[in-house]
Amino acid sequence: MLKDKKEPTKISDLGEFALIEYLTKNIKLKNKSSKYGVGDDAAIIKTSKTQVVTTDILTEGIHFDFTYTPAKHLGYKSAVVNFSDVYAMNAMPKQMLVSIAVSSKISLELINDFYEGLYLACNRYGVDLIGGDTSSSLTGMTISITVIGEADAKDIVYRNGAKETDVICVTGDLGGAYMGLQLLEREKQVFEEVGAQPDFSGKDYILERFLKPEARQDIIELLKEIGVKPTSMIDISDGLASEMHHICKQSNVGCKIYIGKIPIDYVTAEVANNFKLEPLITALNGGEDYELLFTISVKDFEKIKDYKQIKVIGHIMDKDQGLNLITEDDNFIELKANGWNNMD
């Protein structure tokens, strides 16, 4: 259908119903609980499990910039960031609904690439696209995604269960996505000013952290396998500091986090230095890493300590002791919640 066209195809040439049919015609539902997908007033789900439901809205110019974001990556990331919220409840994502509002400048080819990214993520994480909506907008593109996941009620982990002496864990490494974004923004500016093509050699890791993040399904599966249920959990979308504040506020506790134990990749640190930024600050306040921050009971420490993808970074303390960073020479610094706030 898209072959032999040199000009981008206008969506208005198709109309809404034909567009939906074109974008969804190859869907095959994979999950037992997905009973009926696209094609009626609503989709149908039946499960004996407890469900978790999360939703995100993403707008062009605020959350993404097509000058350096391929539409396929954007589709992949839009799906994955919602799966990440489901994993943060210790649940498995099963169904997704996707709505897009697009202006006349957005071509059918771009939307097609965006959906390819969505389907790639759905296949990778075992999720069914069961519904959505398409609409026009006066300017740019807005994406809204809702994801429904499943778990046994007893397995669900909230933000509010952290207890004094619990061990604070974080997965992967932090600050990479933020430095990837800084790099892309700088090269965009250079390109606009002097027309120079960017040189990203050696920086693939942080670019991929920003453009095509993964959600930590592997960690949720690992914790289940080794019989560890976190006492609290959250995914790191706004930065470690902000997420730690959420856990402490909702659990009514304090914490201490050892600066020396916060995981930062070599490339992240190198690029941060290059930008005259303190790597620690990018790890604390940079967002969009989609790693998991969770607390476990001290008695579970032995079970997790040998897995290199999980780093122990501190302990939960009494509320009165506040939220603290511990320096290499054992000084306490207040941990402030300077997250990455897209409302700013």
Specify whether the CB–CB gap between 179 and 211 falls below 8 A: no
Closest to 58 (Cα-Cα) out of 114, 8, 124, 104: 114
Q: CB of 153: closest distance to its own copies in angstroms? A: 6
Q: Give strand pairing partners of 97.
A: 131, 146
Nearer to its own copies, 38 or 259 (CB): 38
Length of the chain equals: 344
Q: Give strand pairing partners of 96.
A: 129, 147
Of 86, 280, 283, 326, the residue at the interface with its own copies (CB under 8 A) is 86
d(CA 107, CA 112): 9
- Kindly state whether residue 235 participates in binding its own copies, applying the rule CB under 8 A: yes
DSSP β-ladder status, 128-136 and 92-102: parallel
Q: Which of residues 147-176 bind its own copies (CB under 8 A)?
A: 148-149, 153, 156, 158-160
- Kindly state whether residue 140 participates in binding its own copies, applying the rule CB under 8 A: yes
- Kindly state whether residue 278 participates in binding its own copies, applying the rule CB under 8 A: no
- Kindly state whether residue 144 participates in binding its own copies, applying the rule CB under 8 A: yes
Binding mask 90-129 for its own copies (x = CB under 8 A): -x---x-x-xxx----------------------------
Of 11, 240, 262, 296, the residue at the interface with its own copies (CB under 8 A) is 11
Output the CA torsion 120→123→125→131 (10° steps). Answer: 90
Q: CB of 219: closest distance to its own copies in angstroms? A: 14
Nearer to its own copies, 156 or 281 (CB): 156
Of 2, 5, 8, 16, the residue at the interface with its own copies (CB under 8 A) is 16
Q: CB of 232: closest distance to its own copies in angstroms? A: 10
- Kindly state whether residue 19 participates in binding its own copies, applying the rule CB under 8 A: yes
Q: CB of 65: closest distance to its own copies in angstroms? A: 11
Nearer to its own copies, 135 or 274 (CB): 135
Instruction: 202-207: list long-range contacts, CB under 8 Å, 24+ apart.
Output: 202/267, 203/267, 203/271, 205/176, 205/265, 205/267, 205/268, 206/176, 206/177, 206/179, 206/180, 206/265, 206/267, 206/268, 206/271, 207/180, 207/183
Nearer to its own copies, 13 or 199 (CB): 13
**Count of other CB atoms within 10 angstroms of residue 135:** 10
Half-sphere exposure of 319 (CA within 13 A, CB side): 9
Q: Which of residues 189-208 bind its own copies (CB under 8 A)?
A: none
- Kindly state whether residue 248 participates in binding its own copies, applying the rule CB under 8 A: no
Q: Which of residues 21-80 bind its own copies (CB under 8 A)?
A: 35-36, 39-46, 48, 50-63
- Kindly state whether residue 284 participates in binding its own copies, applying the rule CB under 8 A: no
Which amino acid type is present at position 144? Answer: S
Nearer to its own copies, 207 or 294 (CB): 294
d(CA 216, CA 178): 18
First to last CA, the chain: 42
